[in-house]
Chains A and B, each alone.
Chain A
Amino acid sequence: MSTRWGPTIRGLRYRRGQTVVMMVVIATLAAIAGAAPWYARMTRDQTTVQAFDLGAPASTLRIDSSGPAVPDELVPDDPMIVDPVPSRDATVTWAPPDIAKPGEGMLLSRAGVCDHLRFVEGACPTEPGQIAVSTADQELWGLQVDSTVPFSASGGGAEGSLRIVGVYEVVDGDDPYWYDLVPDGHSGWRDLEIPVADRFIIDPATWQLYPDIDGQSHLDLRVDAQQVDSDDLPHLQTLYDDLDAAVAATGEETLTSAIPDTIDELEHGFDVAGRGIALTVGQLAAVGLVCLVLAALLGVRAVRRDLGLQRLRGSSPGRLARTSALEWLVVALPSTVLGFVGAIGFAIAVRAAWLDQARVLWPPWTSVAAAAIVPIVGSLLVAFLTRRVARAPIPSLLRSTESRAAAGRVGLLVLDVILLAVVGCSILVALTSTESSPLVLLAPALLAVGGGVLVCRLLVLLIGRLGPRWLVRRPALGLGWLEIARGDGLRAMVVVSAVATALLVLTTQAALIGDHNRDHRADVETGAATVYRTTTDAGQVQRALDEIDPERQRATAVATVGRSGDSYRMLYVEPEAFRRIAYGAAEAADAGQWAAITAPAGRATTLTGDRLRVRLTGKVDARTPMGVRATLLDASGEAQSLTVGQVRPGVSGSQVLETGMDCAEGCRLLSIQFDPEGETGFQGSLAVDTAANGSWAPVELDPDGWRPIGVDYDGYRLDVAAGQPAGALDLDLATGGLSLALQSTYLAGDLPVLVSERMEVTVEDGHEVHTPGTALLPVQVQGSLHDATPRLLEDAMVSDLSATTRYGDARTDSTSEVSLWFAEGADDDAFIEELDILGVQLIEVGDAAEARTAYANSSEALASRLNPIAAVLVALLAAGALGLTLAGGWRRRRDDVRALDLAGVPRRVWVRATRVAHLVPVVTGVVVGAVAGAIGTSIAVQRVPIFATAEPAIHLQLDLQQAALGVAVAAALVVLLCVAVAAWRSITSGRRWER
């Protein structure tokens, strides 16, 4: 073969070992370079699509107008904006049949709404004055087709009534058509005092019927997630800004959208993920570059004599450099293509496995450019090295072994000092930077380099002292040590092994710690494996659970009081079951703390029969009557709020107030409330009786079992003391008109609570908290929660649910929620069906697995998924780098072996010596790398932003995972030792790998 490239190809075939290594290194580097930007791009696209696919409000724009309609010209002419839906609504006051107090409702007309509803009765309104109501409202308020709903506009003015023509269900609540306005059928609360209705669907013509209703028009716009990728974010931002300006210019319309926030969040995620990917891949590329340098150096050194011959024939170093660089491309270009094909394969694989929503499979230009840089950099490197080598005197080039003096004029000590100074400064800068810098991620590698150099120097010093002594006593060991000391590859071997091990530790720990904390966050935010909301009272839920899961192995009931934004929220739980299901094993050690919040049971006041009678004896100092109400809790757990009667003003002596009650199976008396219409005073005794069988049977009223509430306002007074006769309460009541109440404490003491850490300083014993209903209880702090309360990341207090169910107050209303938290694996249809049969209907509000998946698809998590791949590649590249380091000193080592052989040193001695010389640096490097990796990773995970979580923060598990650490170090040791052993065996068996 005498073509232009014939000699080059022959040379490559001749040095096929080197060629293969070189091709693997280049291909790996090209694959990394090509895949990293590609992967980053796909993660950006994936998270972008996910963010806009979430629906409202992340991907929607709403234009509100006080006019009859939003002008059509405001709809942006942009293909990404789809499905404009005009609508108009108005808040009205209405009253359900048989309920005196008015509630709120909303009239809604929406283009095409009939196509998105299923009518279980009647049909969609098509005429003015017609409405459709939800099945939930039908059930809750007894609304029927053909009945009318009287209403009045909330702002006053219009009044009227609408005829019900249909009862609807939503066909698909996830349909983007609904934006975030889907009538879910559960907007009404079972609190009889505030009847909030679901959407009342009307025909648009109804607005003309009632022109005085102060309604609002809307135009909903949606970004089509299927059309958006990460490159479109600037365009979307511009689109929003333009629309915002256009809307503002009208003066009548307003624009609301979370799109700017979505874009900000996405870009923040891109930034975090980009830095994570860049640092992971950057370190990987650095190892790859070291491999490339070693491979290139080895390749150039292997042709020293060829270069000498060519120099002898008049080729200049520059010409040889150019020729070498060009010839190197013969290897580099196909290898790069091969690597890029690998990157394509990687992209296809991850797209199939992880990034199914990343539509763009075509590589970004950065990917191609990054891959193209590899052969260019390699070519320049080869040119530089060739030129450097070829400039040596021709006679030295023609010698078989490179002169030791050619190593350089800078002493190794100076080199070490410079290296350590650079490493030290880098670590110092990373650690002292004001913000948590991701550069801290370099700490393990930097520590490994610094530690490796230091240990090498110490090792050489040690060998200097001990080597000669060992040489006499144990020749193999002594020879091996001396070989280590004189080997110029010692530093390279130790540092390569150390850096590889440290990176392996970092990548595995980063992946595991990141995943663990993301999962932990998902679990905490969800609360339990699955969480369902229910409109059923907690008492009923508990009774249902008592029947089918008495040990609470599968689920537990939780009542929450307080909305997001309150200073804190109260969580009433079943302590032991909650500890197990919500906290899992992590809180097992705090079982005693959780047991401490079990509410101590007090004495109950029990009534039986069908008449409730209250006797007040004393002086009523009032000009207006004072209502008396009582709350009872029946055997089924249902609370009964009864108006007992009115106390007449200015009457001295006894007054008996009486009303009916439904307590055939017994009721508990929970509270007695005084509702004065004006300034009132009462001094006397109160007794409660029940007519069980027609005769008076006084109920014993223990003053310790009652406490006044609502008396801390402007000196209003309600004192309670033991009365005469026995069984009555002495009362001293004074109020300016506000209600005061006596509440059965029903607890032996104050409500025991656990509080979040931050609340410890603000909440003291005696602080009063609300139960889900009306009760107000003083607390006794039993301890603090060291972690965020599951599902409630704000400040929270936790207490015993039984304390509230005793008051019949664990109800679902506008400020509280009853939910059922399921243990892992308990969320099966049969169990849910059993609950349904027992009257507990569930609506899923949280699924830990889904939350984990969502976090696992975040930009940060997707970036972190590269870590295990990086770990494998680090191990491979390190093996390559070590192999090349060993091969670089091959000829000299072989000469050493030959010299020992010629000197009459027995074969077994020099074989063992060579083994020591190969293995000790590797083992030393792995040990140094393990220590550097552990220390560096501990520092990095504490400080790097990619391990932080969004506010409010949860406690992160940032300790190193010891088992994984051991596995990573063992893996590094095995891989690197295999390379060293292979090198040792090939040298001692005389193979010519130096080619």
Chain B
Amino acid sequence: MRDTTIEQAGVAVAAHAVVHIYRTEGHDVAALSGVTLTVSPGEVAALLGPSGSGKSTLLQLCAGLLRPAAGRLTVGGDDLARLSPTELDEFRRVTLGMVLQGADTNVVPYLNCADNVRLARPGLSATQVSDALALVGLPGYDDREVTPLSPGDLQLLALAGAVAHRPRLLLADEPTSKLDHASRDIVMEAIFRINAELGTTVLLVTHDPVVAARMPRTVTIRDGRIGAEGRSGEEFAVISADGSLPLPPDVLADLPPGTLLRVLPEPDGLRLVRAEDDDAATD
């Protein structure tokens, strides 16, 4: 029987003014320009945003695959930038579970399901492997070959491989891309189940609005910054660590860059007034 008790809680992920720059020949590209974000232990959050906005970069920074050029990124209180390579390996082996983009990217084609789950984790017992497969919805798949599996099942297998060691943080890069609706729902259910049963903090990247709509928290990244945040379906703007406030895209259409505004405190918040409108009113 699968052990459904929560053995350990998820970890908090905290990014403070995180900057990441890709250095290429001839010029540098800032993928993240001061991202500040906190994900609470056991929380499920999705990173949204257009292609190239930096969400996958943020996910890789959280996995310790990249190191921030500036800022601070902690997982469970550990500053990933300060961890040695050995400590990073330990972090990925114990704390982290990660699912890469693409259903077949996470599996080794010539191994069966159990061996794929056990890959790089030889200490896992057969029971733990079976439990992991059952947790994601692939009970009894231990000895099945990978090749005939559907993309949905492959993604579930990837999830099983990522959580078999009961990680405290699960990172998933577009886990539902290229899946049909039914498979998408199954995968999402598996992710929520993992969160619920293991208490694992889940941070995923998605383009799919349906997936985003089902997430209790969404963080939209635009141009390397936090553009907005949604909670339970409601969208919020987020003030950055440097005090800047990215405007929602529809507002930005009316207020193009360079527009002068007056920020007027009001009892229940702030009021933004275009400077020329204010001047006209004054006149």
Chain B residue numbers with a CB within 8 Å of A696 are: none
**Do A309 and B65 contact each other (CB < 8 Å), given the known contacts A314-B89, A315-B89?**
no
Give residues 300-323 of A contacting B (CB, 8 Å). 305-306, 309-316
Report yes or no: B94 in contact with A310, Cβ–Cβ below 8 A.
Answer: no
B115: Cβ under 8 A from any A Cβ:
yes
Question: Which listed residue, B89, B96, B106, B109, touches A316 by the CB 8 Å rule?
Answer: B89
- Closest Cβ of chain B to A300, distance in Å, is 15
B213: Cβ under 8 A from any A Cβ:
no
Chain A residue numbers with a CB within 8 Å of B85 are: 316
B66: Cβ under 8 A from any A Cβ:
yes
- Closest Cβ of chain A to B11, distance in Å, is 15
A6: Cβ under 8 A from any B Cβ:
yes
A13: Cβ under 8 A from any B Cβ:
yes
Chain B residue numbers with a CB within 8 Å of A315 are: 89, 93, 120
Q: What's the interface size class on A, roughly?
A: 20 to 34
Residue on A nearest B94 in the bound complex, by CB:
A314
**Do A316 and B86 contact each other (CB < 8 Å), given the known contacts A13-B110, A393-B65, A395-B66?**
yes
Residue on A nearest B96 in the bound complex, by CB:
A314
Give residues 1-51 of A contacting B (CB, 8 Å). 1-2, 6-7, 10-11, 13-14
Residue on B nearest A14 in the bound complex, by CB:
B110
Question: Which listed residue, A6, A10, A13, A312, touches B100 by the CB 8 Å rule?
Answer: A312
CA distance A724 to B137 in the complex (A): 142
Q: Can you list, as one digit per residue, whether each of B96-134 has a CB less than 8 Å from chain A (1) or not (0)? A: 101010000110111110110011110000100000000
Residue on A nearest B66 in the bound complex, by CB:
A395
Report yes or no: B98 in contact with A312, Cβ–Cβ below 8 A.
Answer: yes
CA distance A393 to B90 in the complex (A): 16
A948: Cβ under 8 A from any B Cβ:
no
A872: Cβ under 8 A from any B Cβ:
no
A368: Cβ under 8 A from any B Cβ:
no
Residue on B nearest A12 in the bound complex, by CB:
B110
Chain A residue numbers with a CB within 8 Å of B114 are: 2
A398: Cβ under 8 A from any B Cβ:
yes
B63: Cβ under 8 A from any A Cβ:
yes
B254: Cβ under 8 A from any A Cβ:
no
Residue on B nearest A13 in the bound complex, by CB:
B110
Question: Which listed residue, B93, B112, B142, touches A313 by the CB 8 Å rule?
Answer: B93
Chain A residue numbers with a CB within 8 Å of B65 are: 312, 393-395
Chain A residue numbers with a CB within 8 Å of B119 are: 7, 306, 309-310, 313
CA distance A919 to B115 in the complex (A): 42
CA distance A13 to B143 in the complex (A): 17
Chain B residue numbers with a CB within 8 Å of A305 are: 105
- Closest Cβ of chain A to B99, distance in Å, is 10
Residue on B nearest A310 in the bound complex, by CB:
B120
- Closest Cβ of chain A to B95, distance in Å, is 9
Chain A residue numbers with a CB within 8 Å of B142 are: 2
- Closest Cβ of chain A to B164, distance in Å, is 10
- Closest Cβ of chain A to B158, distance in Å, is 10
Residue on A nearest B109 in the bound complex, by CB:
A14
- Closest Cβ of chain B to A253, distance in Å, is 77
Most chain B C-beta atoms within 10 Å of own C-beta, residue among A10, A313, A315: A313
Chain A residue numbers with a CB within 8 Å of B110 are: 10-11, 13-14
B92: Cβ under 8 A from any A Cβ:
yes
- Closest Cβ of chain B to A390, distance in Å, is 11
Chain B residue numbers with a CB within 8 Å of A312 are: 63, 65, 92, 98, 100, 120
B60: Cβ under 8 A from any A Cβ:
yes
CA distance A2 to B63 in the complex (A): 29
- Closest Cβ of chain A to B5, distance in Å, is 24
**Do A2 and B109 contact each other (CB < 8 Å), given the known contacts A313-B119, A313-B120?**
no
Q: What's the interface size class on B, roughly?
A: 20 to 34
Q: Can you list, as one digit per residue, whether each of B32-74 has a CB less than 8 Å from chain A (1) or not (0)? A: 0000000000000000000000000000100101100000000
Question: Which listed residue, A2, A13, A309, A311, touches B106 by the CB 8 Å rule?
Answer: A309
Chain B residue numbers with a CB within 8 Å of A6 are: 115
Chain B residue numbers with a CB within 8 Å of A309 are: 106, 108, 119-120
Question: Which listed residue, B92, B108, B112, touches A314 by the CB 8 Å rule?
Answer: B92
Chain B residue numbers with a CB within 8 Å of A11 are: 108, 110-111
CA distance A690 to B138 in the complex (A): 133
Give residues 375-396 of A contacting B (CB, 8 Å). 393-395
Residue on B nearest A314 in the bound complex, by CB:
B93
Report yes or no: B93 in contact with A398, Cβ–Cβ below 8 A.
Answer: no
**Do A314 and B90 contact each other (CB < 8 Å), given the known contacts A7-B111, A13-B110, A309-B106?**
yes
Residue on B nearest A312 in the bound complex, by CB:
B98
- Closest Cβ of chain B to A411, distance in Å, is 16
Residue on B nearest A316 in the bound complex, by CB:
B89
Question: Which listed residue, B92, B93, B105, B115, touches A2 by the CB 8 Å rule?
Answer: B115
Chain A residue numbers with a CB within 8 Å of B66 are: 395
Report yes or no: A398 in contact with B92, Cβ–Cβ below 8 A.
Answer: no
- Closest Cβ of chain B to A619, distance in Å, is 123
CA distance A316 to B92 in the complex (A): 10
CA distance A515 to B92 in the complex (A): 66
Chain B residue numbers with a CB within 8 Å of A394 are: 65
CA distance A172 to B92 in the complex (A): 87
CA distance A7 to B116 in the complex (A): 9
- Closest Cβ of chain B to A327, distance in Å, is 12
Q: Can you list, as one digit per residue, whether each of A283-308 has a CB less than 8 Å from chain B (1) or not (0)? A: 00000000000000000000001100
CA distance A6 to B119 in the complex (A): 12
Chain B residue numbers with a CB within 8 Å of A313 are: 92-93, 119-121, 161
Question: Which listed residue, B60, B115, B121, touches A395 by the CB 8 Å rule?
Answer: B60
Q: Can you list, as one digit per residue, whether each of A308-351 has a CB less than 8 Å from chain B (1) or not (0)? A: 01111111100000000000000000000000000000000000
Report yes or no: A306 in contact with B108, Cβ–Cβ below 8 A.
Answer: yes
Chain A residue numbers with a CB within 8 Å of B91 are: 314
Chain A residue numbers with a CB within 8 Å of B92 are: 311-314
Residue on B nearest A4 in the bound complex, by CB:
B122
- Closest Cβ of chain A to B118, distance in Å, is 8
CA distance A306 to B118 in the complex (A): 13
Chain A residue numbers with a CB within 8 Å of B86 are: 316
Report yes or no: B60 in contact with A2, Cβ–Cβ below 8 A.
Answer: no
CA distance A585 to B94 in the complex (A): 85
- Closest Cβ of chain A to B155, distance in Å, is 15
CA distance A13 to B65 in the complex (A): 31
Chain B residue numbers with a CB within 8 Å of A311 are: 89, 92, 120
Chain A residue numbers with a CB within 8 Å of B63 are: 312
Report yes or no: B98 in contact with A10, Cβ–Cβ below 8 A.
Answer: no
Residue on B nearest A306 in the bound complex, by CB:
B108
- Closest Cβ of chain A to B31, distance in Å, is 12
Report yes or no: B89 in contact with A10, Cβ–Cβ below 8 A.
Answer: no
- Closest Cβ of chain B to A624, distance in Å, is 117
- Closest Cβ of chain B to A205, distance in Å, is 91
Report yes or no: B108 in contact with A2, Cβ–Cβ below 8 A.
Answer: no
- Closest Cβ of chain B to A69, distance in Å, is 82
**Do A10 and B115 contact each other (CB < 8 Å), given the known contacts A2-B143, A314-B93, A398-B105?**
yes
CA distance A309 to B98 in the complex (A): 10
Give residues 139-170 of B contacting A (CB, 8 Å). 142-143, 161
Question: Which listed residue, B94, B100, B161, touches A398 by the CB 8 Å rule?
Answer: B100
- Closest Cβ of chain A to B251, distance in Å, is 35
Residue on A nearest B63 in the bound complex, by CB:
A312
Report yes or no: A7 in contact with B115, Cβ–Cβ below 8 A.
Answer: yes
Report yes or no: B120 in contact with A2, Cβ–Cβ below 8 A.
Answer: no
Chain A residue numbers with a CB within 8 Å of B108 are: 11, 306, 309
The 9 closest A-B pairs by CB, nearest first: A314-B93, A14-B110, A313-B120, A310-B120, A314-B92, A315-B120, A316-B89, A10-B110, A7-B115
18 A-B pairs, CB-CB below 8 angstroms? A2-B115, A7-B115, A10-B111, A11-B110, A305-B105, A306-B108, A306-B119, A309-B119, A311-B92, A312-B98, A312-B120, A313-B92, A313-B119, A313-B121, A314-B91, A314-B93, A315-B93, A393-B65
* A1-B112, A311-B89 given; 6 more Cβ-contact pairs under 8 Å: A310-B119, A311-B120, A312-B92, A313-B120, A314-B120, A316-B89
A residues at B contact (CB < 8 Å):
1-2, 6-7, 10-11, 13-14, 305-306, 309-316, 393-395, 398
